[in-house]
Amino acid sequence: MRAAVWRKARDLRVETVPAPQINDPHAVRVKVAACGICGSDLHEYAAGPIFIPVDAPHPISGEKAPIVMGHEFAGEVVAVGEKVTRVKLGDRVVIEPILSPNRDGAYLMERYNLSPLLGFHGLSGGGGGFSKYTVLGEHMLHRLPDDLSWEQGALVEPAAVGLHAVRQSALKAGDSAVVFGAGPIGLMVIEALKAAGAASIHAVEMSAVRRAKAEALGAVGHDPAQGDVVAAIHDATGGGVDFAFEVTGVPAVLSQCVNATHPGGEIVIVSIWEGPASFHPNDLVIKERTMRGIIAYRHIYPAVMALMQKGYFRAEDLVTDRIALEDIVEK
């Protein structure tokens, strides 16, 4: 079968690879119907490896580079292991790609996203969504409701990141927030903030196209190239927002994100970083601000799909292009 294979930074190739086979009684073979391109994929392509194992196999997938990429996907169950009970042949499913210790079709940890062995199917070996077929443990599959499209299914994973970020914060209905970065995950955070009842949402984004997307979702857009964006947010909100979400991974933005909040505000770091970033600790200490990080998600896919059925995270608002597998490197 054809698949997009990462070999090293800036070396992604679409090539023929063996079709994966079921070798575990709790494993499931999925025919991929739609797969999104994540910011993490772009980071791995441009500056990896980050999650991709290169020196030794990942302890759960048992693989190292070259690996098949793609972790935001949905598809159809086409084969099941003899002990699978979670899904059946023909089921439409979305994939929760977290690699974390598991046994007998279930994750072993309650907070499985915090395992020291954390990896991702499609980033850490084991197959991926940039292919025709892939094989996963049944614990990584969730049935996709019939009223949600394949493209909507491919958005569940990034939407889960956005919803988890907002849920892990202390945000309450009526609070204000700013999202630094209006790429796919930033837009998901905006949608999650809307679902959580944020009364005022601001978005800081250099790209006019992305900023317009954020504004179309209801955020107040700010162009950091037009001046002091922290001052602009303070002016617009009467002293700073309650919550700031960092979704750029750009070191210079971190300090802006901290200082966009009012005294006592909270900063949530969502990005995966390619290198170190710094800010002055006194900006937290003297203002009694709080900073937290989040990684991926846990126990949240059903909530994401329920919100999608209510009209949040709509594919019509978020999908900007459709690329065939053979064209993924070029485009």
Are 134 and 163 members of one domain? no
> Tens of pLDDT along 11-30?
999 999 999 999 999 999 99
CATH of the domain at 218: 3.40.50.720
Examine residue 49 and say whether the peptide bond preceding it is cis (omega within 30 degrees of 0).
yes
Contact 9, 48 (CB under 8 A): yes
What is the pLDDT at residue 328? 92
Are 129 and 201 members of one domain? no
Q: Which two tokens stand for residue 137?
A: 């443990």
Are 197 and 129 members of one domain? no
What is the pLDDT at residue 48? 86
Looking at the domain assignment, is residue 139 inside a domain? yes
What is the pLDDT at residue 81? 98
What is the pLDDT at residue 203? 98
Are 129 and 164 members of one domain? no
Are 125 and 82 members of one domain? yes
CATH of the domain at 132: 3.90.180.10
For residue 179, give the 3-state DSSP assignment: strand
Contact 94, 153 (CB under 8 A): yes
First-to-final CA distance of the chain = 21
Are 147 and 13 members of one domain? yes
What is the pLDDT at residue 199? 97
Domain hosting residue 85, numbered range? 2-155+313-327
φ/ψ bin of 174: left (φ > 0), alpha (ψ from -120 to 50), beta (otherwise): left
Nearest to 214 by CA among 225, 224, 203, 230: 203
- Residue 242 CA to residue 224 CA, distance in Å, equals 20
Per-residue pLDDT of the chain (331 residues; tens, 9 = 90+): 999 999 999 999 999 999 999 999 999 999 999 999 988 888 898 888 988 999 999 999 999 999 999 999 999 999 999 999 999 999 999 999 999 999 999 999 999 999 999 999 999 999 999 999 999 999 999 999 999 999 999 999 999 999 999 999 999 999 999 999 999 999 999 999 999 999 999 999 999 999 999 999 999 999 999 999 999 999 999 999 999 999 999 999 999 999 999 999 999 999 988 889 999 999 999 999 999 999 999 999 999 999 999 999 999 999 989 999 999 988 7
- Residue 204 CA to residue 230 CA, distance in Å, equals 10
- Residue 14 CA to residue 39 CA, distance in Å, equals 19
- Residue 312 CA to residue 331 CA, distance in Å, equals 28
What is the pLDDT at residue 275? 87
- Residue 132 CA to residue 222 CA, distance in Å, equals 40
Q: For residue 201, what are the β-bridge partners? A: 177
Total domain count for the chain? Answer: 2
Looking at the domain assignment, is residue 298 inside a domain? no
- Residue 270 CA to residue 286 CA, distance in Å, equals 24
Sign of the CA dihedral running 188, 48, 67, 324:
positive
Examine residue 66 and say whether the peptide bond preceding it is cis (omega within 30 degrees of 0).
yes
Q: Which two tokens stand for residue 61?
A: 């997938």
Q: Where are the alpha helices (DSSP H) in 169-296?
A: 184-196, 208-216, 229-237, 251-259, 282-285
pTM comes to: 0.96
